[in-house]
Structure 1
C-alpha cells in the first residue's frame, strides 16, 4: 500500500515505537473510545491489536467486591480481584497540551500554537511544520493536557495475574473464539487520557531520506469545524488521524465550554501488566547498534515540555538515528524486551512485569536499544516468589535516590533562578529501613532504604516542629535553625536560600510559607515577626508591636493577611502587602497553647483561649474584624483542625475525647470517645467525610465525620504484644487514600484509610516523631522528630517494594 509497508511496519507499530519516550505506557494509534466497548478503564483485561485496545473482561474497581464483567458471553470461572489489592495513582496534566514528535532534522522542533476560535469553537492555531531524516517517525498533538489514572502494580497483583492468566486465555479462545496468543493478553494498570481534540501522524519511507511533514489547515485539528467522528487522511509519505474535536458550542451570544472542560475519555496510552511463560527454547533477544543514551524530553519539574519548548530526539554519538536502529520487526517493544530478559537471566517458569517497571529501570533515560541496555546495567535482579519471577527493585530504588540526591550539582539555570543557591547544608542521603507486610501473609518484611535528611546532627539543628513549612506547590521546604532560615529544593535537596541578613537576633519559634510560596513569615523570641522574600532573601516587612515572644504566625489562605500571636495571648492581624496593623485582639485569655488556625476560605480564625481553671475554650473569630463568632467550650482542648469546607472544627482534649463542632454557632455536633489517654493530634480527610485522632494510648482512630461511627483503629506497637507507643501526630494525604502518623519509637507509619490496609513503616528517626506532612501530590511524607531533622519518605517506593 504505502512505502513503509515494504518493511512490514504498520502505522500503529511505527507510532508506538516512535513515541514510547513519552512515558505514557504503550501509545495507542486509535485512542478514541470504542462504539460498543466504550472507554478503556483501569483493570481491563484484553489485548492490543492494530493500535487499539480490545477489552475481554473488566474488574469494577469502584465496587467493594471488585465485580467482574465480560464483554461477551458470561464466564463464571474468573477469580474476583480482592478489594485491598488496588492502590490508586492519579495525576492531572501528566502530559501538557502541545505537539510532540519522535525526531527531526538538526533538532529543529515543530512549533504548535493552540488556539480556539470563539465563534466556531474549532481549533485555529495549530501549525506544525518540520522535516525529518530517516525512514519513519510520528507526531502527537493535543489541545488538552492528558490526565493519568492507574494502580500501583504490586507483587500481589502480578501473582494474581499468573493465577488467572490461563483462565483468561481459555475465555478468549473457547468462549469468544478469538485468535489471541497468551503472551498478548494484558491487564491495564494505567490509562493516560485526553479530550477528543487530538491529532496523530505517522510518516515513513522505504529508504532513508529527508522529507517534510506539515500539520496545518488540511492535516490536523487546525482544520475548521473538526467534529463528528474521527478522520483519517493519507499522503504519499504519511498517515494522519484525528479525534472528533470538542463538542459543538452554543451560539455566538453564549460563551462556549472551554476545551479544558471537555471530558477526557480518549486514551492516548495504556500501561500494561503482562506475564511471559518459558517454553522449551528461549526466545532470542535481538540487539541493535547499542544502547546509546538520548536526551530526555522533560523539563526540570519532570513534566514533558509543551509545544514551544519540547525537545526532540537527536542523533546518537555514532550517527545512527533512533528510527534507523529499529528497522527489524523482530526487536520487541520495551515491555516485551524486559520480559524476555527476565526469562533469560532467571530460572523462573513465568515472569511478570509492567510498563511501570520499564520506566523505573530507565529512570528517565532514553536508549536506542533497550535489550542491549539491560545487559549493560546491574541495578536489579529477578527474584522468584510463589512461582512468578519479578523484578527485585530494592537496589534500583536506592540507586534512583542516589542519582537524585547524591550527585548534586548546580547548573547555570539554577543560578539565574536562585542566585544564592549552594551545596552547603544540602539535603543528604542516609541509610534507613522500610518494613511492610505483603498483600498476602502476616510476616513483616524489611528492606534497606535511603531517606533524604534535611538538617545536620552537628552543625545544624532545626528548632522545633512548628519551624518547618512546605510551599503550597510542594517544591520548597523551609526550616528555622537558630535565628536563620534554610530553604531547600525538594527535587534535589539543594539549599536555594539562607535568610539571615538583618533578621532575628534570637531563636525563631514558628515559620510559614505564603500561599504562592514567594514569602515566608517568622515569629521569634525577640517579639518581632519578619516577612521575607524567598527568592531575593530581602526582608519585606518588619511586624513590630508584640510585647512577648511570638509563638505563631500564619498567612491567610488567600495570602492577603498575616496573623501573629504572642505568649501573652495577644493576637494581631496585619496586611500582607503593606505590613500595616489591621487590628489587635487582647480578649483571648492566657492559654497553654498559642496556636492559631485559618479556615480554608480565610473568613474565620480559630485560637485557643482559657476560660477558667481546668477548662479551656476555642475562640472562633471573624478574620476581617477580629470579632468573636463562637466559643467552643470543652475541658482542656489541646488540638484543632478545620474541615475542608470550613463549616466544622474538630478538637482533641487531654481527657481522651474529641469533638466535632459547628464553626459558626459553636454547637458540639459529635463527641468521639475511643481513646484511653489524651488526644495529641486531629485531622480531617481531604473530602471532609472523615476525621482522625492520634493519642497517647498508641492508637490512631478514624471516624465518619457526620455520624461519629468508628471506621478503623490503627494500633502502633513496635513489638507485637508489647506496650503501645505514644502517637504524636497524624496527617491525611491530600490526593491519595493514605494516612500517616508519627510515634515515640521514631517511626512513621502509613495506612490506606479507605481500606484499613497497612502500607509501610519508615524507620529513621532515633527518637520521637513530632510532626508528619504530606507533599501536595500525596506521594511523599516529610517527618520532623526529636533528633531535630526532617526526613522525606516515598509512599510510592514503599508500595513498589511491597
Structure 2
C-alpha cells in the first residue's frame, strides 16, 4: 500500500510541474484582463476585447497593435464574442444585442446590426465577410449575408445556443445547444446534414476549416470528434475529470491534432485519430483577488511548431510543442 501511495505522489507532483510549464513568451494585450478573444487560423493575428473598454487587433509576428476599435461606437465595451474569418479578411464582434463587421485589412467598420429578439450567445464569420452566423438565447440561429441582406433562420434547436462554427465558404454551420444536440446544417437551405447527440447540454463546437472534422463537447464528460463526410464518430477525448468544459478549440492544418482551451487555465493537445491527450499547459491567472484563474478564450498553432493562447488574464502566451508531430 505504501508503494502505491508513493507512486501516486510521484505522479501527482510530476503532473503539477508539467501543468505549470513556463511559456516561451508572454505579452500583455489587455491590462485589467479581457472579455473575449480570437486568434486567426494561421496564428498571425489576434483580436482581444478588453475589460478596459476597447477591442484591439494585434500582429502576433511583430507584437504591435494594428487597430483599436469601439463596438457600437460607445464608451462602454461589452464585446463577449469575436471571430476572425479563415482568410484573415474580416472580423465580427458582438455584445448581447448587436454585432459588427470589420475589415481586417483597413481596420474600418462595414456594418452594425441589432438583434431585437433574444440575446446573442455566439457568433462566426465566413471568408470575405460573405456570411455571419449568430446563435441566440431563444434557440434560433440566424445566417446573415451582409452584401445581399439575405437572412435564414435555423429553427432546429429547442433551447438556447451555446456555441456556433461556420465553414470558410459560409455554406455549412455547426451549432450546439442546451437541448443536448449539435447540428451540422446547410446555410443555403437550412437542411440538417447530421445531428450529433449528447447526454447533456452541448457547450462547445468547432469545425475543421478543411472540411474533414467536427468537434462537439457537452457540459459533463463527453467530447467527440466526428467525420463530417460520413457523420461517424472518429474518437472521443480521453480525460479523467468528472466534468470538463471547453472554452476554445482549433484543429491543426494537417488534421492530426486538436488544440483546446478551458475556463480553468488549461490548454490541451489531442490526437484526432485516438482522442489521446498528448500535452498540457496552464496559462497565467488573471491578477486580482482569489480565486486565481483564467478562461482560455482562444488557441492557435504557430508556424514555428509552437502554440499560442489568449486568455481572460489579458495575456497572449506562446507554448512549446513537444515531439508529438510524428505520433
8 A Cα contact 1:674 1:701, kept in partner: no
Q: Is residue 52 of structure 2 the alignment partner of residue 479 of structure 1?
A: no
Q: Counterparts of 1:382-421 in structure 2 under 5 Å?
A: none
- Where is the helix percentage greater, Structure 1 or Structure 2? 1
Give, in angstroms, the shift of residue 528 of structure 1: 1.2
**Alignment partner of 1:509 out of 58, 80, 100:** 80
Give, in angstroms, the shift of residue 632 of structure 1: 1.0
Count the aligned residue pairs. 296
The match for 2:222 is: 657
**Deviation digits for residues 442-484 of structure 1 (CA, Å, limit 9, x no counterpart):** 99xx989763211113xxx321xxx212345544332112553
8 A Cα contact 1:767 1:785, kept in partner: no
CA distance in 2, matches of 1:689, 1:449: 23
Give, in angstroms, the shift of residue 643 of structure 1: 4.0
CA distance in 2, matches of 1:449, 1:649: 30
The match for 1:617 is: 181
The match for 1:595 is: 163
CA distance in 2, matches of 1:447, 1:468: 21
TM-score by length of 1: 0.32
Give, in angstroms, the shift of residue 693 of structure 1: 7.2
CA distance in 2, matches of 1:623, 1:550: 18
CA distance in 2, matches of 1:667, 1:701: 22
8 A Cα contact 2:26 2:315, kept in partner: no
CA distance in 2, matches of 1:783, 1:471: 11
8 A Cα contact 1:603 1:622, kept in partner: yes
**Alignment partner of 1:638 out of 200, 203, 210:** 203
8 A Cα contact 1:502 1:539, kept in partner: no
8 A Cα contact 1:692 1:703, kept in partner: no
**Deviation digits for residues 17-73 of structure 1 (CA, Å, limit 9, x no counterpart):** xxxxxxxxxxxxxxxxxxxxxxxxxxxxxxxxxxxxxxxxxxxxxxxxxxxxxxxxx
Q: Counterparts of 1:80-99 in structure 2 under 5 Å?
A: none
8 A Cα contact 1:690 1:702, kept in partner: yes
The match for 1:498 is: 68
CA distance in 2, matches of 1:451, 1:635: 38
**Alignment partner of 1:519 out of 69, 90, 93:** 90
Taking a change above 3 Å as real, the CA distance of residues 595 and 495 of structure 1, as seen in their structure-2 partners, is same
The match for 1:349 is: none
Give, in angstroms, the shift of residue 795 of structure 1: 3.5
Match of 2:217, SS state, is strand
The match for 1:627 is: 191
The match for 1:469 is: 38
Bigger RCO (CA 8 Å, 6+ sep): 2
CA distance in 1, matches of 2:71, 2:171: 34
The gaps in structure 2 that reach 5 residues or longer are: 1-13, 287-291, 322-327
Give, in angstroms, the shift of residue 492 of structure 1: 3.7
Q: Counterparts of 1:670-689 in structure 2 under 5 Å?
A: 670-671=235-236, 674-681=239-246, 684-689=251-256
8 A Cα contact 1:595 1:607, kept in partner: yes
CA distance in 2, matches of 1:660, 1:447: 29
CA distance in 2, matches of 1:448, 1:699: 12
**Alignment partner of 1:456 out of 8, 31, 50:** 31
The match for 2:113 is: 543
Give, in angstroms, the shift of residue 595 of structure 1: 0.9
CA distance in 2, matches of 1:449, 1:684: 22
**Alignment partner of 2:299 out of 773, 779, 782:** 773
8 A Cα contact 1:568 1:590, kept in partner: yes
TM-score by length of 2: 0.71
**Aligned alpha-carbon RMSD (Å):** 4.1
8 A Cα contact 1:468 1:479, kept in partner: yes
CA distance in 2, matches of 1:746, 1:475: 24
The match for 1:605 is: 173
8 A Cα contact 1:691 1:703, kept in partner: yes
Taking a change above 3 Å as real, the CA distance of residues 778 and 597 of structure 1, as seen in their structure-2 partners, is farther
Match of 1:596, SS state, is strand
- Where is the strand percentage greater, Structure 1 or Structure 2? 2
Taking a change above 3 Å as real, the CA distance of residues 471 and 633 of structure 1, as seen in their structure-2 partners, is closer
The match for 1:753 is: none
